[in-house]
Chain A
């Protein structure tokens, strides 16, 4: 299977990565190799294999619905690039 430049450009956009044309070309070639490596798995007949939902065999790990203290607001927003003491500040989000 081979990936096109446009496939990679689309994935880059979804991941919010700004790639130059050179980087796109390089990524296309590298990603194609990785996908090719993984597609070796397609040689195995998995028709009778249950899809794996989780690598650990365990299920049903729960916690009880008991509140615990949250972080104080100044700590919660401490590492934000921009904040007003109460909220995280981000470039204007308008509409949807």
Chain B
């Protein structure tokens, strides 16, 4: 029996997710039409994806490769023998009248992926994955509501593009866990280069199954009928829809007492603007799809050695990467999560920087503050960032050496970003020359001589009075390092004869 996660709630929430992601191939799953979003309607079709009689599908090698990579990263068992099946149903965006999918022998099953909240709002939750299979996508139907009863328009560009279906076991215990798990799944798939997981363009779609387990007075457990929620267009709306649905199901159970089995599985659509779910058609029974083996495609086999080789060649997962960054560079889990969440290229930038300045914490601080802020403000990715890691390392090195303080360093870095010039050039252009030791010593002596009151205060034990000297020093020469001025002035005063 699942343990309750929310002590305040008189029930356990049980959530399973079904995720569809489009694969990053150049062409469709069974034909050589381009797999590309945003082309004018029906310009990316051919007899195969239009389902014209006599056409035959041929499997895309890259699509299968990407699918196996994804499933391997999800810790799935990869099948040595897999086949494709026809899933029969009628819909205007499905020209063949069936979808080529996988039924009884999917290419992978029994994986797992952990949901982790970097802020620690819930305990890490290991979520089992029932199966991952490869299928073709359907086309798109568009309907202009304002046009009343006018026709729907069908665009078949997406028809036959490769789609990965990932089905989790009902192991998630809260809407927040569901959201975190989806975030981790998306990050993993993006890191693998399997999908761009862009929800706006529909390359990642989520349906959620949810019900409640409610302990009854007699010690038995009431299970509410399972509801499948569709039409969620962001991870945030997944969390909102589940949160809404949990409350709705509890209220309905209190009102009707209906349990799993006494009511059919229901499909409800999420209305983001209204913030509610609405009932849709009843879910067809699985057998109604009349699956049967696809005669036009031959099965695919992999040897144990091939499967092992794929496993060997897997890149570092986001989870492993976070752990390594924490350990190698001694940065907090939160920092590692932010850096890894920005993608592999940014992590590489960070690691180069950390190596050059030999200080993970300082490098991470500059990344979190100056680099990420600039990326956000300019809406660019790290690849387009105007200053290379070596350039930023140069600035940090000068700060560490004492050429100038951190706030001056940040100004210089901002100018390097704006102008594309090196630290050397910016320092020269801004008239920021490192203040030489002799020059600094002379300045400090001058200040000590000119401020007998401050000197007297310091001599009487009020060391903080030296702050007044720093202010004056900055006025005379904005390039001085406040820490050095303070240290030198205190030293000079200490060497003066006692009053």
Contact = CB atoms under 8 A, between A and B. Distances in A.
B151 A65 contact: no
A39 to B, nearest CB: 17
Interface in A48-85: 53-56, 58-68, 70-73, 76-77, 82, 84
B300 A66 contact: no
Given A73-B40, A76-B42, A86-B40, A59 B298 contact: yes
Interface residues of B, number: 54
Interface size class of A (residues with CB under 8 A): 35 or more
A90 interface: yes
Interface string B58-70: 1111111000000
Nearest to A89: B151
Nearest to B58: A63
Given A88-B153, A90-B152, A65 B63 contact: yes
Given A54-B293, A59-B301, A60-B298, A95 B152 contact: no
Contacts of A86: 40-42, 153
B25 A73 contact: no
B301 A93 contact: no
Nearest to B267: A96
A87 interface: yes
Contact of A87 (B58, B63, B155): B155
Which among A65, A67, A77, A95 has the highest number of chain B CB atoms within 10 Å?
Answer: A65
Interface string B283-317: 00000101001010111110000000000000000
Contacts of A95: 269, 280
Nearest to A56: B298
B105 A53 contact: yes
B60 A63 contact: yes
A89 to B, nearest CB: 4
Contacts of A90: 92, 141, 151-152, 154
A94 B33 CA distance: 29
Interface of B: 25-27, 32-34, 40-47, 50, 58-64, 81, 83, 88, 90-92, 105, 141-143, 149-156, 230, 267, 269, 280-281, 288, 290, 293, 295, 297-301
| Interchain residue pairs A-B with the least CB separation, the first 3 | A68-B32, A65-B62, A87-B153
26 contacts: A53-B105, A53-B293, A54-B293, A54-B298, A55-B295, A58-B298, A60-B301, A61-B59, A61-B298, A62-B59, A64-B62, A65-B62, A67-B33, A68-B46, A73-B40, A73-B42, A76-B45, A76-B156, A82-B151, A86-B41, A87-B41, A88-B154, A90-B151, A92-B150, A93-B91, A93-B141
